[in-house]
Amino acid sequence: MSFDISVFEFIHNLVGSSSLLDIVGIFFASYLPYFILIGLFVAFMLEADWRRRIYSVLYVSLSILISRGIFIPLLNLIFPRERPFQFFGFEPLVSSPSTTSFPSGHTAVFFAVATAVFFLRYKWGIALFVAAFFIGVARIFVGVHWPTDILGGILVGLVSGLLVSEILIRFDKKKPVETL
């Protein structure tokens, strides 16, 4: 816990040092995720090949479902943990449920998305890994997650994206070969 407290305080103590930094932190923690998902959806819908469009949406959606719908609730039950704002008794910069904090759902989802997109479009995936990292750091900054929550979210997201990749590869191999 001392690692969590030290790193949390280092990042969170920047709150109030700059109005611009506070705004950027809030934006990354709360609003950037929506812009990313909307942007990806639009990009996928603009894909000329309808099969690739469906495959891309399916891949990202399954990665999100596995990370947020299966792994996160399961780990929340196994590792109940107070959020930093509850532990220290302050008001976070963004609204947050008083549910358990490990692992970070935002971080898990966006690392799952980044992993899926990485296999679809390498350069987009790299950009999304960077964005997902900053979303995670911003969640610490605004006071709703511990650093190890973010690390747990990264692991869950990577595993979810890789698991879906493996599932889709196996499913693709089982398709019957069409004959003329």
Provide the terminal-to-terminal Cα distance of the chain, rounded to the nearest Å: 64
Phi-psi region of 89 (alpha: psi -120 to 50; beta: other; left: phi over 0): left
**170 pLDDT higher than 90:** no
The Cα 96–Cα 83 span in angstroms is 9
Q: Which residues contact 124 (CB under 8 A, 6 or more apart)?
A: 43, 117, 118
**17 pLDDT higher than 50:** yes
Q: What is the pLDDT of residues 59-82, one digit of tens each?
A: 999 999 999 999 999 999 999 999
**178 pLDDT higher than 70:** no
The Cα 17–Cα 81 span in angstroms is 28
Q: Which residues contact 94 (CB under 8 A, 6 or more apart)?
A: 26, 29, 30, 142, 144
- Domain range list for the chain: 2-172
Confidence bin at 175 (pLDDT 50/70/90)? low
The Cα 145–Cα 23 span in angstroms is 18
Q: Do the beta carbons of residue 108 and residue 31 sit within 8 Å?
A: no
Q: Do the beta carbons of residue 92 and residue 142 sit within 8 Å?
A: yes
Q: Does 147 sit behind a cis peptide bond, omega within 30 degrees of 0 on the bond before it?
A: no
Query: The tokens of 73 are what?
Result: 């609730």
Fold of 2-172: Vanadium-containing Chloroperoxidase; domain 1 (1.20.144)
Q: What is the pLDDT of residues 22-70, one digit of tens each?
A: 999 999 999 999 999 999 999 988 988 888 888 889 999 999 999 999 9
Q: What is the pLDDT of residues 108-144, one digit of tens each?
A: 999 999 999 999 999 999 999 999 999 999 999 999 9
The Cα 137–Cα 159 span in angstroms is 20
**176 pLDDT higher than 60:** no
Residue with tokens 């693709």, as numbered in its chain:
172
The Cα 103–Cα 94 span in angstroms is 18
